[in-house]
C-alpha cells in the first residue's frame, strides 16, 4: 500500500517553499499525497496556491484579523489534529518555523506520527530574534524524525544539538526550486509578471529599491524607525521605493502614517510570486526583514540589506550579498546611500550565487522520503 504523506502549511512563505515538494511528490506517483492548509494566511496563501495550481484537500480557514499567537496556536492544534486523525498519515511534512509548522509537528507528535522537517536547522541563537520563530523551529527540531537541512551550516547546527546525524540530510533550500520554477513560468508566459508595468512606467529612469517588512519583533518602534528610514531615502530624486505592504494591521498602520502621499514611494498590495520575482529583478537593492527574500536576492545577484539584529541565514552574509543593518533609521539610510553612491561597494555585493541551494531540493526530499524505513522513525 502506498505511503500517505500529509503536507501541512498555512502562510505565504511555507506555500512557496513547499509547492515544489508537493509537485515532486505528486509526480513521483508512489505516495498518497494529502495537502492541508491551515490558512493562517488567507489572501497571501491563496496567491501561491493559484500560481502553483494546488487545490488543498483540507482547508481549515483559520485566519482572523490581527490574530494572537495563543489564539492561533490553539486553533491550529485542534484543527490539524482532527485532519491527522481522519487521514492517518505515515508522514507529516512541515516547513520552516511558523505557528502552523510548530503546531503541525506538535499535533503529529501527540499521535506518534513521524514528522519530516523541510528547512531544518536554521538558528539565530536568540529566542527573541526572530520571535517566535527561533523557538518554533527548535520545537520542530526536537520532534522531527527527518531533518532536511538546506545547507551544511544548518546541518551542523542540528548536530551541535545532538540530533542523530543519520536523520539529517542536506538537500538545499526548496526556495531555489520555487524561484527557478517561477522564472521558467515567466519566460514562457511574460504576462504573469506584468503586474508592475504601471509602476515601472511611472518610475522609468529611477533606481528602484524593493522593500518588505513584517517581523513581529519589529512591531512598534522598529517598524517606525524603518518607516522613517524609507521616508528619508525617498527624499532622493534619483530613487523610487516599491513596497508591497504586509496586510498585518500592525504593519499597515505604521506605514500608512509615515509613508502615505510620497511621490516616489509606491505602497502596494502583496504581490503574487511571479510579480515579486519581477520586483527583485528590477530592483537595484532589496531592503527587507524577510527570511525568504534573504535567500532569493543572492540567487538573483541583488544586494540585500537585512533589517534585523541577527540572522539564521548567515550564508548570504558570508557570501557577501547580504548585510545585517538592524532597524536603526540612520544605519539603514547610510547603508542604502553607500550602495547607491559607491560603485565598488555595490559591485562587491551584487554577485549572483546560490549558497542556499541548486534547485534540486524537492527531488532529494522525495527520494529520501521514499527510501526511509518506517521502523527508523520511532
Ligand atoms: C507569519 C509567521 C512568520 C512569517 C510570516 C510571513 C508566525 C507566528 N508568524 O507572520 O513566521 O515570517 O507569516 O509573512 O507563524 N493577514 C491578512 N492576510 C493574509 C495574511 C495575514 O490580512 O493573507 C493579516 C491578518 O490580520 C493576520 C495578521 O496579518 O491576523 C497576522 O498574520 P500571522 O500569520 O499571525 O502573522 P505574520 O506576521 O503574517
Ligand atoms: N513574496 C511575495 N510577494 C510579496 C512579498 C514577498 O511573493 O509581496 C515572497 C518572497 O518572494 C518570499 C516570501 O514571499 O519567497 C517571503 O515571505 P515573507 O517575507 O512574508 O515571510 P518570511 O520569509 O519572512 O517568513
Q: Which of 214, 236, 308, 363 is flagged as catalytic? A: 214
Domains of the chain listed by start with CATH number? 3-172+360-377 (3.40.50.2000), 196-350 (3.40.50.2000)
In whole angstroms, give the CA distance from residue 103 to residue 108. Answer: 8
Q: To test the ligand 1 pocket, which listed residue (15, 41, 99, 140) has its Cβ within 8 A of the most ligand atoms? A: 41
**What pairs with residue 210 in β-bridges?**
242, 286
Question: What is the Å distance from ligand 2's center to 150 Cα?
Answer: 18
**Tens-digit pLDDT profile for residues 104-136:** 999 999 999 999 999 999 999 999 999 999 999
Q: What is the mean pLDDT of each run of 10 residues along the chain (378 residues)?
A: 94 98 96 98 98 98 97 98 98 98 98 98 96 97 98 98 97 98 97 97 97 94 97 97 97 96 97 98 97 95 94 92 96 98 96 89 97 64
Ligand number nearest CA of 140 is 1
Q: How far is Cα of residue 285 from the mean position of the Cα atoms in its chain?
A: 18
**Tens-digit pLDDT profile for residues 15-59:** 999 999 999 999 999 999 999 999 999 999 999 999 999 999 999
pLDDT at 376: 52
Could you tell me if 352 and 179 are in contact, meaning their C-beta atoms sit under 8 angstroms apart? no
Helix ranges, the chain (H): 12-28, 43-52, 69-87, 99-110, 133-143, 152-160, 174-188, 197-202, 221-233, 249-259, 273-282, 292-299, 314-318, 329-341, 343-349, 361-371
Q: Judge residue 22's burial from the number of C-beta atoms within 10 Å of its C-beta, 0-12 exposed, 13-18 middle, 19 or more buried.
A: buried
Tell whether ligand 2 has an atom less than 6 A from the beta carbon of residue 276.
yes
Grouping H, G, I as helix, E, B as strand and the rest as coil, residue 193 is: helix
pLDDT at 373: 73
Tell whether ligand 1 has an atom less than 6 A from the beta carbon of residue 95.
no
pLDDT at 154: 98
Taking the model in full, what pTM does it have?
0.98
pLDDT at 34: 98
Task: Name 222's Cβ contacts closer than 8 Å, sequence gap at least 6.
Answer: 215, 307, 327
In whole angstroms, give the CA distance from residue 224 to residue 217. Answer: 12
- C-alpha closest to that of 55 among 91, 84, 22: 22
pLDDT at 354: 82
Amino acid at each position: 500500500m502506498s505511503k500517505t504523506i500529509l503536507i501541512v502549511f498555512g502562510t505565504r512563505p511555507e506555500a512557496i517553499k513547499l509547492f515544489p515538494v508537493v509537485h515532486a511528490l505528486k509526480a513521483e506517483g508512489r505516495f498518497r499525497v494529502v495537502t492541508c492548509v491551515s490558512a493562517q494566511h488567507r489572501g497571501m496563501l491563496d496567491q501561491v496556491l493559484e500560481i502553483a495550481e494546488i487545490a488543498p484537500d483540507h482547508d481549515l480557514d483559520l485566519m482572523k484579523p490581527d490574530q494572537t499567537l495563543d489564539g492561533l496556536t490553539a486553533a491550529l492544534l485542534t484543527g490539524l489534529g482532527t485532519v491527522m486523525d481522519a487521514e492517518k498519515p505515515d508522514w507529516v511534512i512541515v516547513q520552516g518555523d511558523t505557528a502552523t509548522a510548530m503546531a503541525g509537528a506538535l499535533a503529529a507528535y501527540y499521535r506518534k506520527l513521524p514528522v519530516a522537517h523541510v528547512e531544518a536547522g536554521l538558528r539565530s541563537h536568540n529566542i527573541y530574534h526572530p520571535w517566535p520563530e527561533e523557538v518554533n523551529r527548535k520545537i520542530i527540531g526536537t520532534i522531527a524524525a527527518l531533518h532536511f537541512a538546506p545547507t551544511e551550516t544548518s546541518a551542523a547546527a542540528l548536530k551541535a544539538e545532538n540530533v542523530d546525524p543519520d536523520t539529517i540530510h542536506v538537500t538545499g533550500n526548496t526556495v531555489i526550486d520555487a524561484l527557478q520554477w517561477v522564472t521558467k513560468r515567466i519566460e514562457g508566459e511574460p504576462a504573469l509578471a506584468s503586474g508592475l508595468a504601471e509602476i515601472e512606467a511611472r518610475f522609468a529612469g529611477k533606481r528602484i529599491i524593493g522593500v518588505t517588512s513584517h517581523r513581529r519583533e519589529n512591531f512598534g518602534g522598529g517598524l517606525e524607525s524603518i518607516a522613517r528610514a524609507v521616508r528619508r531615502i525617498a527624499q532622493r530624486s534619483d530613487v523610487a521605493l516599491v513596497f508591497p505592504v504586509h496586510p498585518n494591521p500592525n504593519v499597515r498602520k505604521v506605514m500608512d502614517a509615515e509613508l502615505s502621499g510620497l511621490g516616489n514611494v509606491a505602497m502596494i498590495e502583496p504581490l503574487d510570486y511571479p510579480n515579486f520575482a519581477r520586483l527583485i529583478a528590477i530592483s537595484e537593492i532589496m531592503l527587507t526583514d524577510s527570511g525568504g527574500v534573504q535567500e532569493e536576492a543572492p540567487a538573483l545577484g541583488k544586494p540585500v540589506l537585512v533589517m534585523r539584529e541577527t540572522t539564521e541565514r548567515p550564508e548570504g552574509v558570508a557570501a557577501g550579498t547580504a548585510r545585517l543593518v538592524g532597524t536603526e533609521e540612520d544605519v539603514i539610510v547610510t547603508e542604502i546611500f553607500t550602495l547607491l553612491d559607491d560603485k565598488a561597494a555595490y559591485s562587491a555585493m551584487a554577485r549572483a550565487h546560490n549558497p542556499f541551494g541548486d534547485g534540486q531540493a524537492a527531488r532529494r526530499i522525495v527520494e529520501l522520503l521514499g527510501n526511509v524505513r518506517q521502523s527508523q522513525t520511532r
